Copies of this chain bind each other. A is one copy, B any other.
């Protein structure tokens, strides 16, 4: 059933039927009701491709699945971020489109999606410290929003991010206050902007407390359970092992815990751990008392906000780029305890 058939059936013009359904004022209430009911009854829904052609808007937003280049790892954060964005999209009658990039061809994919008018805007996930995609998107005039930031990018652009530096500084300070001195950092890949910022927070706190930075205690890898385990295991075998770990993800932290237990130690009592918790729905950090002391920030919430910023921008392109800094909260759980200096 299409517009033409429906209008013939009602004895009205396509114009009138279209206007009635889209809530324009130039149509009497009687006919509007008649039209709306006929539409429902005959199960009419407008062809989105035709609508899109006529209006010039796709009502679709594009995402590119951030496969980690090195190991083809799907970011575990992905599902929850998407769920958040999707919620905002559907409230605004947008659909969500996916594409995936082959080997760093992400900019190409974005361009293709936009040039083919498949999408009205795109979300850039997982920005690196140096992120040429941002300039590319700006130059192409594609509306976009970044989940995270890119330190090497100085022009204005819209983003949502957690204050990673601040949260890791605070958390490291917390460990120092507890009496820890040898504090290890198990970080994500440091070409990722968030990882670089977390390292900076860690370093700032160490420096402020006049503690030396020991490269052997600073590890950077993909954030998997196995990598976390591996790094922590090696460090715990050192002559003077760390007494505390700052860990960039819950998944890695689970690996760290495994290494601690394998070493015959007890978390909190012997070794403290603070993890970053993205508040993933399938990996909640305990129920009442959290398993891990953590810096927590909901990635799902970030998804909702990112979506809203982008939609606002699409609707109002001359708007100045909106930015939104989220603060991670520090929740105290069962993975931290006093260190040797206390």
Contacts and interface: CB of A to CB of B under 8 A. Distances in A.
Interface of A: 43, 45-50, 52-53, 58, 60, 65, 67, 71-76, 78-80, 82-83, 86-87, 90, 95-100, 102, 112-113, 115-118, 223-226, 230, 251, 254, 257-258, 261, 280-284, 286-287, 291
B281 A74 contact: yes
A143 B339 CA distance: 61
B79 A76 contact: yes
A116 B225 CA distance: 43
Contacts of A287: 226, 230
A113 B45 CA distance: 10
A178 B59 CA distance: 58
A86 B78 CA distance: 14
Contact of A53 (B50, B112, B116): B50
A58 B53 CA distance: 13
A90 B99 contact: yes
Most buried by B among A281, A284, A291: A281
A278 to B, nearest CB: 12
Contacts of A282: 73-76, 223-224, 251
A117 B47 contact: yes
A55 to B, nearest CB: 10
Contacts of A258: 257, 291
B46 A116 contact: yes
Contacts of A254: 254
